[in-house]
Every structure is written in C-alpha cells, then in structure tokens.
Structure 1
Amino acid sequence: MARHNNQLPDNLPQLQNLIKRDPASYKDEFLLQYRHYQCMLDVFRLHPSEFNKSLDDLVMFIAQVSHCYPDVLSNYPQELVDILQTHFSILDSAMRMTLCRALILLRNKNLLTPTDLLSLFFHLLRCQDKALRKFLETHIITDIKNMNAKHKNARLNMTLQNFMFSMLKDSNSKAAKMSLAIMIELYKKNVWNDAKTVNVIATACFSKFTKVMVAALKFFLGSDPEDEKKSDDSDSDNEVSTKEVLMANRVNKKTRKREKQLKKVKQLVKKSQKKKGAPSPFNFSALHLVHDPQGLAEKLFQQLEKTNERFEVKIMTLDVVSRLIGLHQLFLLNYYPYIQRFMQPHQREVTKILQFAAQASHELVPPDVLEPVLKTLVNNFVTERNSADVIAIGLNAVREICNRCPLVMSEDLLRDLAQYKNYKERSVMMAARSLIHLYRTSMPELLHKKDRGRPTEASIELKSKKYGEVDAKDYIPGAEVLLQNGTEGTSGCGQDDDGSSDDEWIDISHSSEGDAEENISTQEEVFDRLEDDQKCDHGADDENEEEDGDKDMVEGTNSAREGARGPMNKIQQAVQASQMRLLTDEDFRKIDAARLSKEVTALKRGKKRPAEEEASSKRELVSLADIENIYKKRRHDKEARQESVKRGQVGREKFGFQDRRLNAHSSKTNREKRKTKNYMMLKHKARGKLKRSFKEKQIALRNHLLRLKKMK
C-alpha cells in the first residue's frame, strides 16, 4: 500500500532536510529536482526579465544541498555567475537577490573562489537597486574581514585592491561611491590599513563625482559630525524605548514575549553604555601614510582654485590641505594669501578659517610669508570697533599661530596685544594673558619687562632659535641631577673620598602596569630628597674646608664649585650621566622632579603648569575649541543657583537671631519673648511706634512735665 504522506517531489524543505541527513539514499529525488531546474532555467533564459517562483525556490534548494553532490553540481556556480553577468541589468530585483544569496551559500561551502565572487559583486554595484548594493557591500566587507582574520592574505588583498582602484575610476557614480565606502570601512576595521589603501583613497579626492570626492575628504578629516549626531539621537531614542519597556514589564502581565523583549532591551542598554565608555576614535594616521603629501596638497589646492563646488566642499578641502601642511611641514606659499581673503568677522565659518590658518603654520614657514596673515588677523579682529567675543577669538587665533611659528610675531605688535590684559571684558583679558604666557615660555625678550614675570632657572636657560635652527640634543636634558644626587656614585652623601664610582651592573626591574602606582613616588617626596641631598653636600663641603687649612686651596675649591654650577658644566654632567648606563624609571622620575624644581625656583607661588609641559603639549592638529574658547561666566538656571547657594552655606552659621546665652536654661527677656508671640497680642504696642506729629509731641511733653511737678 502506497504512503500518502510522501510529498517529497513537492516539499523542497523536507527533501532538503532528508538529503543533508542521508545524501546517498535521496540522490534520485535530488536528480529529479535538478533536471527540473535545468528545464526551468532554459525557459527563464528566453524571458530573463520575468520572475519565476519555481526557479527561485529550486535555486536556493540546490545551493543548500550543493555540498552533498559536488560531482553533479560542478557547473552549477558558473551557471549562476553567467546569468548575473549577462542579464544583471534586466533581472527582476527579487530574482537577482536570490541568485546573489545562492552564490554566497556556495562561497561559504568553498564551492566558489572568493576572487570570482567578489569581482562579480563589484560588477553588480552598477545595478539601480539600492537594497542589493547595500547587501553586497555588507557581504564584501564581512567576507574580506573573515579572510584576513587569522592572517593577512597579501596576494588576495593586492588583487582586490587593484580591482577596487579601477572601480574608483568607473563611469558609474554609484559603483565608484560604493567601492570607496567599502575601502574606507575596511580601513576603519583595521583590515586594509596599509599605505596602499590610503593612497588609493587619496586618488578619490580628485574624482569627477562630488559625492565620491566628499567621501574621500571626510575620510581624511576623521569622523563625520552628522553621523555622530544621528548616533546620539538614536541612543536617546533607545533610552526612551528602554524606559517604556521596563515600565510596561513592571505593570503588565508577565509573558514570555515580554521577558524576551526585556532581555533584548537590557542587552541594548549594556551595549550603549559600553559604546559611551569607549574612547573617541581620533585616528589621523591616514594622513601620515600618504606617499607624496606635497604633491597631494598642491593638487588639492589647484583643484580648489578652479572648482565651482559648494562652500562646504571648499571648507573640507581647505581643512585637508591645512592638515597636510601642518603634519608634514610642507611649503605651499600660495595657500596663505588665499586663506587671508576669508579672514573677516562676518565671514561664514570664520572660526574654521582661523583654525586652518593655524594648522598650516609650522616652524619652517618663512616668517615674512605668515606676517601678512597675522597682520590681517589683528587688523580685522583685534580692534576696538569689534565686540569682545570677536577680539577674544582673534587673540586666540594669534596665539595658536604663534605657538607653531613664534618668529612671526614682532616686538611692537606683541607689546600692543599685551595691553589687552587690562581690558574690561574677561574674555579678552584672558586671551591676552594666554598670549603673554606663551611668549614667557618661548621668547620672553619680546615682552615688556613687567610682562616677563619673575625669572626662574628654566626661563634663564631658554635660548631663542633663529629661523631654520634645530636644537637637537645627544643627551637627556636634566640628567645632571643623577650625578648631583649620588646616583652614579660620583657625588652626594654616599660618595667615595676619591670621587670614583663602582662600575657595576644594575638590575633593572620592569614594573607592570598594576604596580606602577606603588613605584611612583610623589613630587614632594622627591623634592624633600633633593633638599636633603643638597644639605648633605653643603655639610660635606664645610667639613672639607675646615680640614683644609690652606687658604688658596679653599679659594680654588670654591671657584671650582662655582664653575660646576655653570651651564656648560651641567651639560657635560648631563652627557656623562646619559652615556654612562641605561637609566631606570626611578632615574627619569628624579629628572622630572628636578625639572619641576627649576620651574618654581625663585617663585613664591607655584606655577599651575610648567613651561616645558606647555611646550610639549603641542598637538599635531589645532582644536577648534582653542580658538572659540571664550572665558565668560556661564548662565545658570534656578536649580544650579540654588545648589551653589547650598554649597556655600555648608559650615557657616545660620543667618538671623542667635541665642548667645551662657546658660541655655536661664529665662529670656520680654523683648526676646515678644518675637514668638502672635501679632494680635502686640498690636497695641506696635501702634505706639508710629511717627507722632509735632502737636502730639507737645502734648506728651506737657503731660510729662506736669507729672514731674506733681511728684515734687
């Protein structure tokens, strides 16, 4: 008797399950379906633009079980590739998506080489199907990432990079844009983060398609602010939905569906918190990997002068050119007169223009080239006819330019700008003082004597460099403190009589990050140790002078000691300490402590920020906040003001009447008791406090005199 529940010829999912379990037993059923597929394929080739449901199901069925019969399906992948290559532009969108999914299944089963599939998918990026292009982009990125997960496949990467380089020059703008987006995403995922990828993307900056050019410029500028804003908005939406789900799960009936939904929401919250706690992805290494930064900057600037693009595109181009000039210290002298034309307070995005001018400044730019830019900036911004905010922004921009090229400032101009330190507006005053502080630590001789501050050991050792001069040291500055403190055994309390040191190896223990805090001593302890060593040195010198009775010998030792304090001898000691042995972390901590002690020597007040730290904090790129930073008293709402008032009342006596009786149990006066009584009880007494007229005063005085007369 035949089984009526056997529906294998028509039930493809059931047949697919059985074939995966036992391929040999169901080979005949599979061959039947495969012959049916070939017949349907012949019919489809006659009308490729029509959707065929039966063929669509058979394609996915065969792709799912293709690994079970590799000998029968040896030509199956190539058939699908030929269909897509020949009819990709006229295929139905659903049918085209099915064929692509089938090829991805074959690729995952290693029945299709990655180069053949990826080259086909790059070819399909020309389709007028946005959903398909997005799907292909995701697969291409994932597939290339998986292929390079364990080790870099250099040959495959080179082949694909060459193919994508040709795709950037494609006549189809969508294909070129998608190829560039794939390369940028692979670079961000650290899959293709080599110099070749960066330089291929750099060629896209000169694309004839504006969208491709803008995408390449944004890549070199870092993250997109609009994308960050969208992500912030999405995070806030997620937070709202999270609160709604939590409240609904608390009130509504407990079901499995709501439990699963709550679990997903908790995972989403955990993911968003992890994302917020992650550091900001500020990575500018792409600009460092450009092979020919001078040529790239010149070509971009030439394109900028000839282009008729929107103002936003010009701003991005100016930003990239300024970053290239600043990072690689390039010479592009035509850039400065061009950007000088936009330095007007009413100019659109003027703060960014000032930022670009500061980014394009470096020590190798001739001062006479930057001097017109600085004068234009001062004449247009730092004038009394402008508002305080405009003057402060102008002074901040001057400071950022002079921070990278100090020689551009003249003595007369600096002294004029320094006069704004007494300006009535706080924002202008603070901007002028920051400019003064910059030149205190770099070229104090340009300032007026009253603006130079109290001289310190560090300021005395400052040496003004001329244009093009490089101060390269072959020793560690400040290492002479190791010899002075007896670290090398040549001086200090533990010094031998002959001044010799033991040439012994010192074991250097490499501390891990966990115990780094235990090994680091505070600066105050190091300063105390330095003071003790100096006292010990002076004590040893006094003993030597007492033992030596010869006056000439004493004078000779004193002169030698004074000579040892000279700058040349300190340099010799630093060279000796740097070249004698490998320095440990403790040695570098002593050097840093000695450097900080120089900053506060001859000062009663400690400096908030040492000069060398100020100089070493020069970033490669100029922050827009440094120029727009205006010191103002921020406006506070009522809640903030109340919190500030409450913080100020902590530890302060309560305002109002205070009971200052020595004995708390003693009685109070009638005047004190009156303060707690009801007003109606004191109304008749309060009436007497009203101002009396002159007639009433006469009557009261007469009555008083009459009472006195009667008493007599």
Structure 2
Amino acid sequence: MVRRHNNQLPENLPQLQNLIKRDPLSYREEFLQQHQHFQNTIEVFQLSPEQPNKTLDDLAMFMAQVAQCYPKELQTFPQQIIDLLEKHNTVLDNDMRMTFCRALILLRNKNLLAPTDLLELFFKLLRCQDKALRTFLENHIVTDIKNLNAKHKNAKLNTTLQNFMFTMLRDSNTRAAKMSVDIMIELYKKNVWNDAKTVNVIATGCFSKISKVMVASLKFFLGKDPDEKQSDESDSDNEIDPKEVMMANKVNKKTRKREKKLTKVKKLASKAYKKKSKAPVFNFSALHLIHDPQGMAEKLFKQLESSNKRFEVKLMTLDVISRLIGLHDLFLFNFYPYIQRFMQPHQREVTRLLQFAAQASHELVPPDVLEPVLKTLANNFITERNSSDVMAIGLNAVKEICARCPLAMNEDLLQDLAEYKNYRDRSVMMAARTLIHLFRSVRPDLLRKKDRGRPSEATEEIESMDYGKVDAKDYVPGAEVLLEEKNEEFEVNSESGSDDEQWIDVQHSDGDESGGEVSGAEEETAKEETEVAGRKILKAARKDEHLKMKKEIAQKVTLERILTDADFKRIDMANVRKHVQSSKKGLKRKIEEAPVVEPSDLVKLSDIENIYKKRKHDKQARIDSVKQGQVDREKFGYKDGRMNEHCSRTNREKRKNKNFQMLRHKARGKVKRSFKDKQIALRNHLLKLKKMK
C-alpha cells in the first residue's frame, strides 16, 4: 500500500483517524507518535487545568475514535480521562469537560468501559455549575440503560444500577438526588424499569427533605390527565388559525416580523395536532405496585399536617393520599375532617378539594365518617344564598361521593336535595336530577315514591345494601337470556295458575262475630282492603319466585357451557334492556333514564365542575351551524320583485351594476337642495328679473 503525503498526517487528525480505521497495522507508528503527544499534553495541562486546551480536546476525541484499533496501547486511556474529570471537575472549562464526557460515552458505546463506572463519575459531575452538561448526562444515562435492556432484561446489571441509583436518591447533593429521581421516572415511563422496586423507591422520594425531589415524586404518582384542561385553554376563540395567518401572509406585505409569526404559528399548530392525536395516558399502574399503601398514606398525611410547604404542594399531597385511599380501600378517618375544613365556596381551588374528597370515598368507609362531609357540602354549597354555579358544584360533589359510598347518604338529606329538581336555574335542576338518577339504580328506597321513576326489571333485582356486605355472585348476571326457550316456559308456567289456586288466605275479623255492629258498607271496605293486601302478597311471592328462577337458570348456563364473545354480547344487551324495559309489559322508560355508569377510580375534575349551560362552540362548530341553517332557505340579499325574471330591468336597477366612472357626471344631478340653497337661488332669480325690466 502506497502512502502519500505522510508528512501531513500528524497535522491532519481526521484523515489519520480514517486511515487507521481502515488499516490499523500500517499506521501504528503515526498513532504512537500521536499517543506520545497526548501524554505530553496532559502533563502540561495539569499545570493549569482551568485554562482551555484545544490540542488536548482534539487528541482526546482522536484517541476515543481509534480506541478499538489499539486496545493494548490505550488500555489506560479511559482511566486517564476519568481521573482528570474527578480531580479537576469543578475548575475545568465547560467545553473541555463536555469533550471529555463525549469521549467517555464513545468508549462506553464501544463496550470499552463498564456502565457502573461511568454512572458513578457522571453523578459526581452533577456538582458542576453547567446545566447543559447535566441535561446531556441525564439523556445519556437514560438512553444507555434503555439500550442495555433493548433485547432482553439484564436483571443482574439492572439490580446493580438500581442500587446505585437508590443510594444517589438519598445523596445530600440536591442536583444528584433530583437527577436520580428524574432518571428513574423517565425509565419507568419508557417501560425499562417498570417493576415494583423502582416504584417503591420513587415513593420514598415523597418524604424527601429536598422539595424538588418530593414534588417530582408526587407528580410521578399523579401522572397527567390530558382530558382535564383549563378553562382558558378550552376556549378556541383565542386560538390562532394557521390558515388565516398563511392567507394574510400571502396578501399582506412581506416583512420579517410576519415571517417569524407564520413560523411560530405553524409550530404551535403542529404541536396542538400531535397533542390531540396522542392517546390518553393514565399513571395508575404505579399506585397499584406500592407495597404498603396504608403506611404510605399515613406518613404522607402526618407530613402534610406538620409541613409549611406552599399550597400547591399541599394540594399534590392531598391528591396522592386520596388516590391511595380510593384505589386500595384504605382507612384514614382523619383525612375527612381535615379536608372538611376547606369546604367553603370562597376557598382557593375548592373544586379540586371536592375532587379529593370524592376520590377518597369507597364502600368500606363507615357511613358516619362521610355523613358530616355531605352535611357540610349541603350547608355551605347547596343553599339559595349562594349562586347557582356553587349549588350545582355542591350537588355534583355529593353525587360523586355517593356514587362510591351510597351508604353515606341518609333519607332526609336526600329528599331535601331532590327538591331542587324543579329549581328555577337549569344547572341546579340538572345536578339534582343526576343525583336522583344515581339513587334510582343504587338505593331507590331512600327516594320518595314519585322520584323513583317507573319500575324496571333492573330495579326489581336491586338488593338492599348493608355496610360490609359483599355481593359475590357465582354466576354471570343476565346469562338467563341464553336460554330464552326455558325462560318462556317458566313465564308461562308461573302465570298459568289461577288466582284462586295461588291465593294466600289472610284472616280477618267478621262483622257477624262482633254482634252485628259492622255495617254492610264497612264490611265491603274491609273485603276490598283484604283483597288488595292479598294481591300484594301474591305479587311479592311471584316476584321472588321469578327472580329465584332467573338466578337458577343463569347459574346453570354459567356452569354448563363455555361462554363465547357472542354470548357475552347478548348478555350485555339483555342487561341494558333491563334498565329500559318496564316490569309491566308494553311500557318503556325514557331514554334519559339509562343505567348509571360505574364510577371509575379517578374522579375527573370536569365531573365536579359539570354545570349545564349553553356551552361555547369553537369556530368550526359555529361555521357548521351557520351552514346548516342556510339549507332550504331563501337566497339572502337583494330580492328581485319581478314576476318574470327574464323581462327587462329598469334603468335604476341597471345603474347599480355600472362602473362609477360612467355615472360620475350624474352623481349630483338629483341631489335635493337645502332650504338655504333654495333661498339663494330664488334671490338670484328675482334680481335677474329686476335687471331685465
């Protein structure tokens, strides 16, 4: 191989690097020369490490690029760079420190450096006053650990790295601890470290004395709900339409300011489109992986009572506690009186506090613990001295709490709140009706008879609720629909018997036995009452027998056959039909009285703030509404009054379509003169006549 311009290679490191990678043996002498130069430069650099050295930067990157070609000669090279960074990390020039880190990352990518050695060094570098370096190192650590687990989980290495990361979380240095928790959260979101060990270590960060670490850990367990938007963000009237800006930029004069604005609008539009198209993400799986949720909730509440943090941090702590209570059915009775103190309409972020009260409600909370919360809501919110919006929010909060713990509501309070169903304001009226609708499907016995609605097949199957009662079914509810023929036979058999055969004998007093004191009319009334009572008893007996038979059929179907997807679909349709179909044949309930959706673990803020008003439409909705109103409508504008549209037009009509220059000379032809002008014209005319005489 002929080597040309050999005397220029020591000065041209990129060319030498390229040649060495192609043929390491042929250029070994040139490499050794550069290696000796590198060692001499390091000795000179250590005399004044605070001064930047461009030669050392170039040589360090050169050695890192060709390290795989000469592993024996560069065996100590990684340790040399590590020693330089450990010894002079705080005094080094920012660019030089970044170059050394890039060289080490290059060696790590070539598997010439262990990941644990690099992590330990990088966490020490967090003490440097260089934000760009800290961000760069964090991204590398996340990417490196992700690549290590790309093909398969490296359990041994992950355990070593996790233990090191957990010790750094307790580090006294604020930046190191914050970066440690940020890295673990990022790796959890990327499904690299999504195990229970990582989640429980992040949970310890909620009790950190460093505020940034505590807030980051709390935010991790809260996650982000993209459906919850601020009121100003949801109003599309303030949004900028990129099409309008582009059209204006075409028509208007081209300026630098308009071009910048157009570029910014395009970026915002692209970001908004990506945000809308992104699937919603809920971070509830992390809360499921906590080992001791009861202990964590108690520690957080104790920390909250004795802390003097900002109000926003207290809100986040309350949110995490409420989610833990609701998700794991915990008992933390002191939580409810604490949050009850803030239930005032003028309280800052009161809707979020009501949301936390609803999230912390579940069926195992004793009713006497939640009952004071409902009374406080009724006294402070649902009163006519407040505005209609405040009353509606209070009713919505009561509904959300009762959806999770129906036993907390008593009969008197519910009937008082149900009276708002005819309130003059629509928002209060609708909130009260949703509360009534909830109890129709949960505890209809608390409502007045007029508020229970028309009975349906589903309401007949509702069982009475007791505290601690577990309704564990050994069959699939509604599976009896799969045996329709047997059901029809059962209905025929149950109704085939006459009333005389199934009549229940009810004993009553006879007028003749009392000495003939009872009149004939009273005797007839007594007989009618007896017959009504007998029919009710017979009806109840038939109902119980009918429900018992349906359960037996559903249990038989569940045990004797394997249910397919089509079977489950039929069962779901039958269960929905039960809520609509009346218990009396031929009657159907209104569509708005559909079954209540089961409450989710997460209470949406929009459910508390759900106020029935005429909502604002966005621009596109308004345009569609306008176009829909124009369908089959007479053409607006000038109405042509001619009987025959093909006949000629008047000169006055033709003049409207002519160019102004053609009518300019006639513009003041028939302008009406003022009274003053007429006086002057008359005077001039009379003077002219006088002169002529």
Q: Which one of the candidate residues 620, 629, 640 is aligned to 2:610?
A: 629
Cα deviation 1:469-527 (Å, max 9, x = unaligned) = 11000111111222233xxxxx38xxxxxxxxxxxxxxxxxxxxxxxxxxxxxxxxxxx
Match of 1:66, SS state, is: coil
Provide the rounded CA distance (Å) in 2 between the counterparts of 1:587 and 1:49. Answer: 77
Cα deviation, residue 170, structure 1: 0.9
The residue that corresponds to 2:421 in the other structure is 421
The residue that corresponds to 1:191 in the other structure is 192
The residue that corresponds to 2:40 in the other structure is 39
**Is the alpha carbon distance of 1:165 and 1:580 closer, same or farther for their aligned partners in structure 2, counting shifts above 3 Å?**
same
Cα deviation, residue 268, structure 1: 11
Match of 2:378, SS state, is: helix
**Is the alpha carbon distance of 1:479 and 1:564 closer, same or farther for their aligned partners in structure 2, counting shifts above 3 Å?**
farther
Cα deviation 1:532-575 (Å, max 9, x = unaligned) = xx5xx699989xx9xxxxx99x979xx9x969962112111111
Cα deviation, residue 639, structure 1: 9.6
1:152-163 equivalent positions in 2, closer than 5 A: 152-163=153-164
Provide the rounded CA distance (Å) in 1 between the counterparts of 2:562 and 2:287. Answer: 35
Number of aligned residue pairs: give it: 588
Cα deviation, residue 634, structure 1: 3.1
Contact 1:599 1:607 (8 Å CA) reproduced:
no
**Is the alpha carbon distance of 1:635 and 1:576 closer, same or farther for their aligned partners in structure 2, counting shifts above 3 Å?**
closer
Match of 1:566, SS state, is: helix
Provide the rounded CA distance (Å) in 1 between the counterparts of 2:216 and 2:419. Answer: 46
The residue that corresponds to 2:682 in the other structure is none
Provide the rounded CA distance (Å) in 2 between the counterparts of 1:448 and 1:409. Answer: 14
Q: Give the letter for the 2:17 counterpart.
A: Q
The residue that corresponds to 2:150 in the other structure is 149
Cα deviation, residue 272, structure 1: 7.1
The residue that corresponds to 1:76 in the other structure is 77
Provide the rounded CA distance (Å) in 2 between the counterparts of 1:136 and 1:270. Answer: 29
Which shifted more, 77-86 or 327-336? 77-86
**Is the alpha carbon distance of 1:420 and 1:182 closer, same or farther for their aligned partners in structure 2, counting shifts above 3 Å?**
same
Q: Give the letter for the 2:473 counterpart.
A: K
**Is the alpha carbon distance of 1:50 and 1:641 closer, same or farther for their aligned partners in structure 2, counting shifts above 3 Å?**
closer
Which shifted more, 437-446 or 598-607? 598-607
**Is the alpha carbon distance of 1:3 and 1:586 closer, same or farther for their aligned partners in structure 2, counting shifts above 3 Å?**
closer
Cα deviation, residue 54, structure 1: 1.4
The residue that corresponds to 2:317 in the other structure is 317
Contact 1:77 1:106 (8 Å CA) reproduced:
yes
The residue that corresponds to 2:386 in the other structure is 386
Contact 1:563 1:569 (8 Å CA) reproduced:
no
The residue that corresponds to 2:113 in the other structure is 112
The residue that corresponds to 1:140 in the other structure is 141
Which shifted more, 189-198 or 82-91? 82-91
The residue that corresponds to 1:521 in the other structure is none
Provide the rounded CA distance (Å) in 1 between the counterparts of 2:107 and 2:240. Answer: 38
Contact 1:430 1:631 (8 Å CA) reproduced:
yes
Provide the rounded CA distance (Å) in 2 between the counterparts of 1:89 and 1:422. Answer: 72
Q: Give the letter for the 2:351 counterpart.
A: T
Q: Which one of the candidate residues 566, 569, 594 is aligned to 1:610?
A: 594
The residue that corresponds to 2:683 in the other structure is none
Provide the rounded CA distance (Å) in 2 between the counterparts of 1:68 and 1:639. Answer: 63
1:322-471 equivalent positions in 2, closer than 5 A: 322-471=322-471
The residue that corresponds to 2:174 in the other structure is 173
1:247-646 equivalent positions in 2, closer than 5 A: 273=273, 276-485=276-485, 491=486, 566-602=546-582, 603-608=587-592, 610-611=594-595, 614-616=596-598, 618-634=599-615, 644=625
Cα deviation 1:621-659 (Å, max 9, x = unaligned) = 110000001001235799977864663464578999x99
Provide the rounded CA distance (Å) in 2 between the counterparts of 1:641 and 1:135. Answer: 47
Match of 1:185, SS state, is: helix
Which shifted more, 640-649 or 212-221? 640-649
**Is the alpha carbon distance of 1:244 and 1:63 closer, same or farther for their aligned partners in structure 2, counting shifts above 3 Å?**
farther
Cα deviation, residue 93, structure 1: 1.5
Cα deviation, residue 464, structure 1: 1.9
Provide the rounded CA distance (Å) in 2 between the counterparts of 1:638 and 1:80. Answer: 60
**Is the alpha carbon distance of 1:226 and 1:622 closer, same or farther for their aligned partners in structure 2, counting shifts above 3 Å?**
closer
Contact 2:225 2:282 (8 Å CA) reproduced:
no
Q: Give the letter for the 2:569 counterpart.
A: R
Cα deviation, residue 447, structure 1: 0.4
Cα deviation 1:354-379 (Å, max 9, x = unaligned) = 00011111110111111111111110
Cα deviation 1:419-477 (Å, max 9, x = unaligned) = 10111100000000000000001000100110000111111111121011110001111
Provide the rounded CA distance (Å) in 1 between the counterparts of 2:332 and 2:383. Answer: 30
Provide the rounded CA distance (Å) in 2 between the counterparts of 1:141 and 1:645. Answer: 52
Cα deviation, residue 593, structure 1: 2.7
Percent identity (aligned): 65
Q: Point out which structure has higher relative CO (alpha carbons under 8 A, 6+ apart).
A: 2
Contact 2:395 2:435 (8 Å CA) reproduced:
yes
Provide the rounded CA distance (Å) in 2 between the counterparts of 1:584 and 1:225. Answer: 35
1:681-700 equivalent positions in 2, closer than 5 A: none
Q: Give the letter for the 1:162 counterpart.
A: N
**Is the alpha carbon distance of 1:161 and 1:368 closer, same or farther for their aligned partners in structure 2, counting shifts above 3 Å?**
same
Provide the rounded CA distance (Å) in 2 between the counterparts of 1:53 and 1:284. Answer: 51
Cα deviation, residue 592, structure 1: 2.1
Cα deviation, residue 29, structure 1: 0.6
Cα deviation, residue 19, structure 1: 1.0
The residue that corresponds to 2:126 in the other structure is 125
1:40-59 equivalent positions in 2, closer than 5 A: 40-59=41-60
Q: Runs of 5+ in structure 2 lacking a partner?
A: 255-261, 503-537, 645-652, 654-693
**TM value normalised by structure 1:** 0.75
Q: Give the letter for the 1:283 counterpart.
A: N
Cα deviation, residue 596, structure 1: 2.5
Provide the rounded CA distance (Å) in 2 between the counterparts of 1:645 and 1:35. Answer: 81
The residue that corresponds to 1:514 in the other structure is none
Cα deviation 1:376-422 (Å, max 9, x = unaligned) = 11100011110000000000001001111111111010000001011
Match of 2:294, SS state, is: helix
Cα deviation, residue 620, structure 1: 0.4
The residue that corresponds to 1:22 in the other structure is 23
1:223-262 equivalent positions in 2, closer than 5 A: 223=224
Q: Give the letter for the 1:341 counterpart.
A: R
Match of 1:111, SS state, is: coil
Contact 1:164 1:179 (8 Å CA) reproduced:
yes
Cα deviation, residue 7, structure 1: 1.1
Contact 2:402 2:408 (8 Å CA) reproduced:
yes
Match of 1:68, SS state, is: coil
